[in-house]
Amino acid sequence: MWRATVLTIFPEMFPGPLGLSLAGKALQGGLWAFDAVDIRDHATDRHRSVDDTPAGGGPGMVMKADVLARAIDFASAEPDARPRLLLSPRGAPLTQRRIVELAGGAGAVILCGRFEGVDERVIEARRLEEVSLGDFVLSGGEIAALALIDACVRLLPGVMGKQASGAEESFADGLLEYPHYTRPQLFEGRPIPDILTSGDHGRIAAWRRAQAERLTQTRRPDLWAARRAPFPAKPGKSK
């Protein structure tokens, strides 16, 4: 069973929205499992401190390596081979490809950073993979963790009503998703494109493909450029 373990100083934030809709039904149905670990439970002082001032000076506080290490070891003891993720603004951008890889595994152990960040030594010692939702900063990793887990859970077998729903959405083929329409046929003077009511499935598929390519080229030129880039030649092979 796919299992997510979140390490946080705010366990009351979970499961939150993950307890509702598709993810919530799947959780209740036993299609995936979840647990939240309170990092403060692994502090050793009476104040349950998880942070301290940064070495070298500077503003803010830094999450302590020793406390985090104990929390991680508790949540992910051998032989747990799940990847250990740290939500961090400096992490590698989280992509749909990585989400598919995570959803296809046993789950994930997710550390939610707070304050100025996490002591670098625990990142190295516990082999944490830093991932980011984008080029912006949140108050902590909890909201990002919710998004990451939701993206994985929806891909698990039996969660979505139709598995084809995940095959034609944004990023599934390196493209943004084509526009969607439904009744009424006319909304504030705007009709559904005639081709979508033509019954010609070949033309509909071609139209959708063209729309997806247009949107990707216009809104995400980075994705378009990556998709159009030629595959590198294999070593020892001539073109």
User: Which CATH number does the domain housing residue 30 bear?
Assistant: 3.40.1280.10
Name the residue among 177, 154, 155, 166 with its Cα closest to residue 223: 177
Tell whether 16 and 84 lie within a shared domain.
Answer: yes
**Parallel, antiparallel or unpaired: strands 190-191 and 186-187:** antiparallel
Q: What is the pLDDT along the chain (239 residues), one digit of tens a residue?
A: 999 999 999 999 999 999 999 999 999 999 999 999 999 999 999 999 999 999 999 999 999 999 999 999 999 998 999 999 999 999 999 999 999 999 999 999 999 999 999 999 999 999 999 999 999 999 999 999 999 999 999 999 999 976 545 556 778 788 999 999 999 999 999 999 999 999 999 999 999 999 999 999 999 999 999 988 775 555 554 43
Asked if residue 141 lies in contact with residue 86, where contact means CB atoms within 8 angstroms, the answer is: yes
| Helices marked H in 55-176 | 65-75, 96-103, 120-125, 142-153, 164-167
Shared-domain flag, residues 101 and 218:
no
Q: Is residue 162 part of a domain?
A: no
Which residue among 91, 118, 153 closes a domain? 153
Q: What is the CATH number of the domain that holds 174?
A: 1.10.1270.20
Taking the C-alpha atoms of residue 27 and residue 21, their distance in angstroms, rounded to an integer, is: 10
User: What is the three-class DSSP state of 213?
Assistant: helix
Amino acid at the residue 30: G
The tokens for 108 are 């994930």
146 with 210, same domain? no
pTM for the predicted model, two decimal places: 0.88
Residue numbers of the domain that contains 122: 2-153
Q: How many angstroms from the chain centroid is the CA of residue 61?
A: 26
Give the count of domains, the chain. 2
